[in-house]
Amino acid sequence: MSIVKLEQIGFTYNESWVLKDVSFEVDKGDFIGIIGPNGSGKTTLLKVIDGILTPREGEIWINGALTQTLKRENLAKIIAVVPQESLMIFPFTVHEIVLMGRAPHLGKWRFEGETDFRIAHHAMEMTDTLSLMNRGMNALSGGERQRVLIARALAQQPQIMLLDEPTAFLDIKHQVDFFDLIKTLNKNQALTVIAVTHDINLASLYCDRIILLHNGNIHCMGSPEEVISESSIKDVYETNVAVDRNPVTGKPRVTPLSAHPSEGGSRFDAGAAPQL
Ligand code: ADP
C-alpha cells in the first residue's frame, strides 16, 4: 500500500486551475522531488498533500485513509513540513522551537511531559543542534536554522516529511549538508520525503523519483534519468540546457546554456544575438 496516493487532483484558488489531473503514488521510504518553473504549482501541491488546502477535484489517501476523513491533528502526526528558512523568524530558543514539533501529540492540557522532552532531545541529537538548544532562533545562521527546523519536524515523529524549497537561501555547502542529513534520515528510518526544489541538479542527486510539473500538470515523472533531459527541460522551462552525466555520481547534470557563445552557450546563433 502506498503511503501517499493522489488521484486526479484539481485545485483552484480563484477560477483558473492551478493543479489539474494530478495523480501519483508514493511508497514508504521514497525520496520524491517535485520540480518545475515558478508558478507551476509545486507549493500548492505540497499544501494539498499536507491538508492545508482542500482540492476541488480528486482524492488523496494518506496511509490508506482519505484525508477528508482525517482530523488535522491526526494528519500532523503523520506529516511534518520543513519550510523555506527565510520565512521563519521566531523570538524563541532552539529548544522551544523543537518542542513545538510535539504539539500534535500533546494531551488535553497541552503540557509537554518527560517523553516529549526526550523525543525533542533525540531530534536535536540527530540534527547536531543540541549545542544550540539555549540559543535564540534569530541568532543562528541560515544553515543552523534549517537544521533546527528539521529537528522540529523530527520531534513530530512523522512518517512523511514535506520540504518546500528548504535550501533556497543556503550556500552550496549547507545545501549539501541539509540534503545529506535528510537522505540519512530517509535511509535509516525509512522516512518518506517529498521535496519541492527549483534546483534540478540537487533533485537529480538525491531523489529516487522526480515529478516535473508544468502549468499544474505532471509533464513527466520517473527516475532522474527518465525525467531530466534536454527536451523535457526545454519544453517546461522554455530554455536551452545541456544534460550530461555527473562524472562522479553518474546522475543527470543540467548546465544552462548562455545566450553568449563565448560563455559556452549556444542559445542564439551569433547572427541573431540580441543587441544589448
Ligand atoms: P510554485 O510553487 O511552482 O512557484 P505555486 O503553487 O506557488 O507555484 O503557485 C501556482 C499558481 O497559483 C501561481 O500562478 C500563483 O500565482 C497562484 N497562487 C499561489 N498562491 C495563491 C493564492 N494564495 N491565491 C491566489 N493564487 C495563488
In a domain, 166, yes or no: no
Residue 49 belongs to some domain of the structure: no
Domain that residue 123 falls in? 90-157
Q: Quote the ligand 1 centre to 42 CA distance (angstroms).
A: 8
| Residue 97 in domain | yes
Domain assignment present for residue 123? The answer is yes
- 105 in any annotated domain: yes
Confirm whether 125 is domain-assigned.
yes
Q: Count of alpha carbons within 13 Å of 231, Cβ hemisphere only? A: 3
Residue 35 half-sphere exposure, CB side, CA atoms within 13 Å? 24
Q: Which of 43, 48, 211 to mutate to test ligand 1, by most ligand atoms within 8 A of the CB atom?
A: 43
Atom 12, ligand 1: which residue's CA is nearest?
Answer: 18
Residue with C-alpha cell 500500500? 1
Helix residue spans in the chain (DSSP H): 42-50, 72-78, 94-100, 114-126, 142-155, 172-188, 200-206, 224-227, 230-237
Q: Cβ distance 119 to 158 under 8 Å?
A: no
**Quick check: 270 and 259 in contact, CB under 8 A?**
no
Q: Is 38 in the pocket of ligand 1 (CB under 6 A)?
A: yes
Which ligand 1 atom lies nearest to the CA of residue 46?
A: 6
Residue 223 C-alpha to ligand 1 middle, in angstroms?
Answer: 26
CB 149 within 8 A of CB 127: no
Tell me how long the chain is. Answer: 276
In a domain, 35, yes or no: no
CA distance 164 to 171: 17
Cα of 41 vs centre of ligand 1, distance in Å, is: 6
Q: In this structure, is residue 173 part of a structural domain?
A: no
- Residue-level pLDDT, tens digit, the chain, 276 residues: 899 999 999 999 998 999 999 999 999 999 999 999 999 999 999 999 999 999 999 999 999 999 888 888 889 899 999 887 655 567 899 999 999 999 988 876 678 889 999 999 999 998 989 999 999 998 898 889 989 999 999 999 999 999 998 888 788 888 898 899 999 999 998 999 999 998 999 999 999 999 999 999 999 999 999 999 999 999 999 999 999 999 999 999 999 997 776 655 555 454 444 554
User: How many domains are there within the chain?
Assistant: 1
